[in-house]
Amino acid sequence: MKKLLSSLVAAVLISSALYIPNQSPASAAPATTFSVHVDEQMLRLDTYPVIKNETPFLPLYMTREWAGVTLKWNQKNKVVTVLVDGKRYEIKNGSRNVVSGDTIIKLDSAAYIINGRVMIPTSLMERMMGAKVVWQEKYHNVLVNSKGKAPLAVAEGRSDVKLYGRDLKDGVYKGLELEIAGKRHRYNWETPTGWKEVPELIVSDLNQDGESEVVVLLNQGSGTGIHAQDIHVISMKDFKEIPIESQKETVKKWVSTELKKEGDMLHASIQLKGKGDDVILQIPDLEFVEQSEMGFGAVVYHRVENNKLIVRLGGMVHFSMFIGDLEITYAFKEGRYVADKLQFIPFDEYKPYVQKSN
């Protein structure tokens, strides 16, 4: 019970640091609003960086998940305490003085609250966090280099499960670190930076053994007719990666397709060899189709639903021309995840042309 109460108190303190009742309209919303990129990824924030008194300000809560950072709010004194790698900073609403041990840090402009968020000048962010901040007034951007403190992803509902990028070279992280309950393990995974390539972490008991796994989804790039996504399933108890049957292996074993052109009519047959219903389509007015089989793997999306790992592969009949998705649902067998059920799902515009589905 004591452990539970301590956890609840900690959660309340952290939540208080993230959102504070707005006590005063003393700080009107500044005219210039900036977007913010941390380690080349755009953040979705409810309160964005602003310029106030010719000084850029950032919402302190954006650092709440950073490594080594703890935020605590004192409602009575209107003071937020920031703990960074053992150092302590006390920031008071409306004050230009920040207390750090025996040191008083003088700010050019006072910290303040707007929309329930504590706003601090970028100079203080740099000093406390060791980050590098560059504001681009012309483009309304604030660029933050967290120096490795900001996670690339945090699992929904599990703030103790985080992913960090390492060895950034030419826009690609050459290594990634997974953190679970304060412990870390490094993997030789790679992922590019950018707002389209944000990784995702999902905690779920995929193998139904009563203990959760971490699903790591790494978007590797997208473009016309392409979306690449890698997946890794990690045991939370020992950081070991659990093998997954490759999509290429699944398609080779369980999927047979045939494409035939008869005038302006495309005959498409998808056979799933007992793993799912076969589908036949007769689609009129499809030009450029010259291949004899469908292609899978150019567009890949994974998800977890009801503790089941599911992947959708775009079914391509010509470059950038897709008529549906092959959906694979996995099951845990003999130490790895293998295809259990398959389904071909035509896109809505092609469903009227389904001749057979059984």
pLDDT in tens, 63-88: 999 999 999 999 998 999 999 999 99
Binning pLDDT at 50, 70 and 90, where does residue 212 land?
very high
Residue 3 has pLDDT above 90, yes or no: no
The pLDDT score that the predictor gives to residue 8 is 35
The predicted model scores a pTM of 0.83
Residues 6+ apart with CB under 8 A from 125: 58, 63, 131, 133, 144
The pLDDT score that the predictor gives to residue 224 is 85
Residue 123 has pLDDT above 80, yes or no: yes
Asked whether 244 and 333 are in contact (CB, 8 A), the reply is no
The pLDDT score that the predictor gives to residue 50 is 85
**Which residues, in sequence order, are bridge partners of residue 281?**
268, 354
The pLDDT score that the predictor gives to residue 328 is 98
Residue 11 has pLDDT above 60, yes or no: no
Asked whether 176 and 165 are in contact (CB, 8 A), the reply is yes
Q: How far is CA 340 from CA 273, 329, 330, 337, in A?
A: 12, 6, 5, 9
Give 216-263 pLDDT, tens digit per residue: 999 998 888 899 999 999 999 999 999 999 999 999 999 999 999 988
CA 189/CA 208 separation, integer angstroms: 26
What mean pLDDT is reported for the chain? Answer: 88
For residue 349, the Cα-to-chain-centroid distance in whole angstroms is: 31
Residue 168 has pLDDT above 60, yes or no: yes
Residue 176 has pLDDT above 70, yes or no: yes
Average pLDDT over residues 139-160: 92
Average pLDDT over residues 327-342: 97
**55 or 327, higher pLDDT:** 327
Query: Tokens 């990634």 sit at which residue?
Result: 176
